[in-house]
Amino acid sequence: MALHEAAVTELRAEFPALQQTAGGRPLIFLDGPGGTQVHGSVIEAMGRYLAEANSNFHGVFLYSRRTDETVQAAHDALADLLNASRPEEIIFGPNMTSLTFNLSRAIGRTLSPGDEIVVTRLDHDANIAPWLALQERGIIVRHADFDPSDCTLDMSSLEAAITPRTRLVALGYASNAVGTINNVARAVELAHAVGAWVYVDGVHYAPHGPIDVQALGCDFLVCSVYKFFGPHLGALYGRYELLDSLPAYRVRPAGDAPPYKFETGTQSFEAMAGATAAVNYLASVGQRYGRELSPEFPGFEGRRLDLKVGLATIRAYERQLCQRLMAGLKEIHGLRIYGIIDPDRSSQRVPTVSCTLGETQLGLTPQQIARRLDQDNIFVWDGNFYALAVTERLGLEDRGGLLRIGLVHYNTIKEVDILLGHLADMPNIVER
């Protein structure tokens, strides 16, 4: 049983936000790349933690012990989601950006002037700026380019940027601006060939497919739970030996063992409770709708298998949705899609589709379109989404950037069709 219309209807019923209306009309959430709606079990788990376990951790009394259990469960859950070797390889923090600045500072302490770091122009600034910050320590940052014609990472540019002095390669798993999935395994090969570490921004990929840090062979991978149906919380995977050896900025009583040496201060335990629930929700999608995909993941069992299967099921459904969206967008006069448009290459992208619509002839900026769609309760993002290097490279930064349509598994064909109808009508509305 795959994710089909009836299954998606069932799942949608479990998301309180998807039941809301405004002005008596439903809401169409195509803003997932900026943050997805939250599953009901997540809201429930966070409320339960606050009522039944709220305390600080590492105390001897009941609520503190429950908090310890909450913290452990969240590390276990994220380790399962990412297929980490052990839960101590997971570090929580407020969000991906803060975690990355935290890690870049720690890594920076191990580098020498003249050492090099490679970043890509296809990345969100949260995987560029923390590395640029190390320039003040004499680190050289090199930029790998992407091909503006289809917005895919230029692997020869990446290869050329990597030198014997490269200590770290930072790249995204999937672009939050144009949806391209990068060949992370190849980047790992290139980086490891010169002894460099690889820091993967998995934020945008996480809601769209299974992640396996061991199969990728990456050294670090970071994601944000609020992008996959959970609360605002960041999570970072790091190879245990690296986390163990890196010098963390920490308070002395926190100890020097991972993960706590990097989890500075009091964390959002309620968000951790929510993170566990979000991971369990994704696993439940596998249990309920993905059983026939199990043979594709030999060697996995329990929740790790359910997660693989759940996210593979989600991926298959999202591909159909994306095909429908792309086919419809291609028919709209004056609309330009940035990124991979060939349906035969659908495995190289996630269903995040960015475009501009006749902005030169009609003066329609992405923001004007987003505002117009909002009048019909259709939520989309406009601008650069902090993927500043992408809009700069595409020459769109001074022109309002992009209009971004982000699909996730709770979206439907019907919603896609409603959006397409509005977009097709938009030039007429503006001309009138």
Ligand X SMILES: Cc1ncc(COP(=O)(O)O)c(C=O)c1O
Contact positions vs ligand X (CB under 6 A) = 33, 95-97, 124, 126, 172, 176, 201, 203-204, 224, 234
CB of 95 to ligand X, least distance (A): 3
- Quick one: how far is CA 415 from the chain centroid? 22
Q: Which is nearer to ligand X, 238 or 290 (CB)?
A: 238
CB of 125 to ligand X, least distance (A): 8
Q: How far is the CB of 35 from ligand X (least distance, A)?
A: 8
> Which of 34, 87 has the CB closer to ligand X?
34
State the nearest-atom distance from the C-beta of 227 to ligand X, in Å: 7
Q: How far is the CB of 305 from ligand X (least distance, A)?
A: 27
Contact assessment for residue 139 and residue 315, using Cβ atoms and an 8 Å cutoff: no
CB of 180 to ligand X, least distance (A): 11
- Give the residue with the Cβ less far from ligand X, 293 or 405: 405
Q: Smaller CB distance to ligand X: residue 128 or 418?
A: 128
Nearest CB to ligand X, comparing residues 224 and 411: 224
CB closer to ligand X, 84 vs 174: 174
Q: Which is nearer to ligand X, 97 or 276 (CB)?
A: 97
Give 311 or 350: the residue with its C-beta nearer to ligand X.
350
Name the residue among 268, 269, 301, 303 with its Cα closest to residue 284. Answer: 303
Distance of closest approach, residue 344 Cβ to ligand X, in angstroms? 25
| Shortest CB 99 distance to ligand X, Å | 8
Residue carrying the six token digits 């195509």: 30
